[in-house]
Amino acid sequence: MSTSAHAAPVAAPHHGAHGDSGHGHAHHPGLAHHFDDLEQQKDSAVYGMWAFLVQEVMFFGGLFIAYIVYRNLYPDAFAHASNLLNVPLGATNTAILLASSLTMALAVRGGATGSKPTQLIMLVLTIVFGLAFLVVKYFEYAEKFEHHLVPGPTFMSDPAHVSPFFQAHPEEIPHAKIFFFLYFAMTGVHAAHMIVGAGLMAWIFLRAKKGEFVPEHHDALEMSGLYWHFVDIVWIFLFPMIYLLGYHFGGHH
Amino acid sequence: MSAQAVAAPHAKIAAPEHRETYLNYDYSWKSWLFTVDHKRIGILYLLTVAFFVAIGGLFAMMIRAELLTPQGDVLESETYNKIFTMHGAVMIFFFLIPGVPGVLGNFVLPLMIGARDVAFPKLNLLSWYIFVVGGLLTLFVAATGGVDTGWTFYAPYSSTYSNTRVAETAIMVFITGFSSILTGLNFLVTVHTMRAPGMTWFRLPLFIWASYATALINVLATPVLAITVLLLALERIFHIGIFDPKVGGDPILFEHMFWFYSHPAVYIMILPAMGVISELVAAFSRKRIFGYSFVAFSSLAIAVLGFLVWGHHMFVSGQSAYAGLVFSVLTVLIAVPTAVKIFNWTATLYQGSVEFATPFLYVLAFFGLFLIGGVTGLFLAAMGLDIHMHDNYFVVAHFHYVMVGGMVTAFFGGLHYWWPKMFGRMYNELTGKLAALIIFVGFNMTFFPQFIVGYMGMPRRYHAYAPEFQVLNVLSSAGAVVLGTGYLLAAVNLIWSLKFGKVVTEKNPWGATGLEWETQTPPIPHNFEVTPRVTQEAYAYHEMYSGKEAHGVH
């Protein structure tokens, strides 16, 4: 074997002996075997979560680009179609999600201070707000089905729920169809993320109940919080873009 | 092959004591299917990828059989469409993209930076399972009628008119994409947080830089493909269109979104391969890499520029001429960091003590093939010329030179290089060299004629062609047989070595730098007895060999 001055086998201060051979000192129970310390583990979690969220931004980005392209191609149809959405329900959901972001932030703070009751209460509230959002969304979707505003063979077949603009310009109806397709795709993908988020919070709640989250180690709680805030922020972009952009055209009902 | 066949440390080994390795600490199938060890996951990828390569290769052989004669006589035209689609989709999503990162990256990346594992070992295993699910879906699609859109799935043919399994294939791509995203995410974080003490960014081996750049593309580009194929699948399933111009949709938008991923994806395929070449060039010329930081940053430059050139796939699609011009110029620019690599590798060889071992033959093959592939890429980047070349065999030859001549050649080189570390056995050197030679000859026989028929005007994706192209097509099909033989020979040699190859117990059989050569062969489950501390640059061959050989003299 050739000489190897490349790496001297020295145990560095922060990087102690291996998990298996390091019987000497006690590890934190939350420390995985392949990390040297909690700090390294947390750094990894933070990097990993942000990289995941960047990935999510690109994923939603594709939908946003599609929306922007078609809005640019068919501005009138998009503006008038957006007036068919239920702004009060959308606004209610915006408020619900903003409130859930607050309770989420407080739950993470409960992790940082080590207050188990704060964690539990705030996580429950976050889950309740998340489910409330989904319930409101359900009523919105149901309304669209009843009004025949779901892209499909009977799209805009109910004159009671077609605005005068589309009655005067039936050639714009296929473009309204694209708007509603994107509406369902974007809010649908967002709602799927909400469902995942609610499941995630339920799991985090169970872990919090076991008292896993202590000030020096509550990565899972904090990372789930990042995810939750991200899903909220997506909605903060979706709401004005989909619901409000055509508002000034009037004829809103 | 079973775990036992891979692992069994035979009595022939001189050292009688039992050495625990990542292969032999547990032989149960559970210990493989539920492993979170990056090395075992690398082996799992090797097996899966080999399986899919065989399938993709079979499709390739069917294409070449059909193209032996100008008439469409072996396959129906519809069947031919399905065969080339499946060839492309399988090779790209199940070999070219996961090949180097999944197999070699998983195995050596944590070893190279002195880590016990990747940052998220369970996620790493999940990536493999997602990959397998995507693979099973592909087999399902292939067994139940296939898909005939070409791997590019252009709308509105794919979204409205094709009668084949487009939606299932789109879902397959969606799923498989997440395997790629999660592997990229894992590598990204691993390089950031898991480096051993002293392993600074500029001491990282160049394979790590290349893998890092690739991981960036994985995370940034792949989700866009995911949403694109999701929209395509929704359009297919619910018959609501955003890509069908009949109802106001924009098929060009599909092309933009598709190539926004799929152009960077070619760098997902080639960048890790370039990283492998950097390792091999240094190891087999016993010299530090010439211009280390240039090679490192050229990987990042390729990753960044790679995001800005997708429109060169759409010169004839109807995008604006100005956009075409910008994409054309940017595409030419990307040749600069690529050339930086080639020049620096060549400069590394200069006055090195070059050893013509099997992996190095693959390096030389890579130089030749990738150079031709890259330079013909410049032809295609020129907008005017591309209008003539578009969708003909010149394009086919170009990307096979880059992808197969580049990525696959580097993959084989890397596999031979790290094979003794992975399995503790050495393949037969003479057979290895012979296989590399046959691959090089067979490759050129197969694909060089395609440049000529393409330039003469033979379009791609047809099962019949004008009779005057026959001679060159027969040459190409004959070459495919030679090429296939070469790959088989290399594979047989490697598999043979698992049982009969010379046992390797020394840590560093090549006399190479790199932390992966400073741990046991094959490595222990947690990679290192003691966390290594790095005190030197990555390719300190001058230190390693000082006083041993006269420097720079062969």
Q: Is residue B506 within 8 Å of B424, Cβ to Cβ?
A: no
Chain A residue numbers touching B239 (CB-CB < 8 A)? 152
Q: Which of B159, B168, B160 lies closest to B89 in space, CA to CA?
A: B168
Q: Is residue B494 within 8 Å of B427, Cβ to Cβ?
A: yes
3-class DSSP state for residue B122? helix
Chain A residue numbers touching B286 (CB-CB < 8 A)? none
- Pair of tokens at residue A237: 């972009």
Q: What angle do CA A130, A135, A139 make, to 5 degrees?
A: 145
Using the structure block, give the residue that is written with the tokens 């759409």.
B314
3-class DSSP state for residue B17? coil
Distance CA B36, CA B31 (A): 9
Q: Is residue A92 within 8 Å of A137, Cβ to Cβ?
A: no
Cβ-Cβ contacts under 8 Å for B479 (sequence gap 6 or more) = B442, B443, B444, B445, B446, B447, B449
Using the structure block, give the residue that is written with the tokens 């390091």.
A22
Q: Which of A42, A211, A231, A226 lies closest to A118 in space, CA to CA?
A: A211
**Amino acid letter at B174?**
F
Beta bridge partners of A217: A214
A55/B242 Cβ within 8 A? no
pLDDT-derived band at A131 (thresholds 50, 70, 90) equals very high
CB of B479 within 8 Å of any CB in chain A?
Answer: no
Beta bridge partners of B533: A8
- The predicted structure's pLDDT at residue B518: 94
Q: Is residue B530 within 8 Å of B544, Cβ to Cβ?
A: no
Query: Architecture of B41-545 per CATH?
Result: Up-down Bundle (1.20)
Quote the minimal CA–CA distance from B186 to chain A in Å: 7
Per-residue pLDDT at A250 exceeds 90: no
Q: Is residue A129 within 8 Å of A229, Cβ to Cβ?
A: no
B242/A18 Cβ within 8 A? no
- Chain B interface, best mutation among A1, A4, A21, A230, by max B CB count within 10 A: A4
pLDDT-derived band at A40 (thresholds 50, 70, 90) equals very high
**pLDDT 10s digits, A87-120:** 999 999 999 999 999 999 999 999 999 999 999 9
> Which stretches of chain B score pLDDT less than 70?
1-17, 547-554
**What residue ranges do the domains of chain A occupy?**
50-249
- The predicted structure's pLDDT at residue A28: 84
Distance CA A56, CA B182 (A): 12
Residue B536 has its nearest CB partner, among A6, A10, A48, at: A6
Per-residue pLDDT at A248 exceeds 70: no
- The predicted structure's pLDDT at residue B17: 63
CB environment A22-58: b (16+ within 10 A), e (fewer):
eeeeebeeeebebbbebebbbbbbbbbbbbbbbbbeb
Residue B193 has its nearest CB partner, among A14, A44, A65, at: A44
Q: Which superfamily does A50-249 belong to?
A: Cytochrome c oxidase, subunit III, four-helix bundle (1.20.120.80)
A18/B196 Cβ within 8 A? no
**pLDDT 10s digits, A155-197:** 999 888 888 999 999 999 999 999 999 999 999 999 999 999 9
Residue A66 has its nearest CB partner, among B114, B231, B511, at: B231
- The predicted structure's pLDDT at residue B7: 43
- Pair of tokens at residue B502: 């010379």
**What residue ranges do the domains of chain B occupy?**
41-545
Enter the ipTM.
0.90
**Burial zone of A1 (CB within 10 Å; 0-12 exposed, 13-18 middle, 19+ buried):** exposed
- Phi and psi at residue B521, in whole multiples of 5°? -115, 125
Using the structure block, give the residue that is written with the tokens 């790095």.
B534
**Burial zone of A80 (CB within 10 Å; 0-12 exposed, 13-18 middle, 19+ buried):** buried
Quote the minimal CA–CA distance from B416 to chain A in Å: 19
HEC readout, A164-182: HHHHHCHHHHHHHHHHHHH
B 247-286 residues with CB < 8 A to A: 247-250, 253, 257
Using the structure block, give the residue that is written with the tokens 């078609």.
A70
CA atoms within 13 A on the CB side of B351: 8
- The predicted structure's pLDDT at residue B545: 87
Q: Could you tell me the end-to-end alpha-carbon distance of chain B, in angstroms, rounded to an integer?
A: 41
Cβ-Cβ contacts under 8 Å for B510 (sequence gap 6 or more) = B283, B284, B357, B417, B517
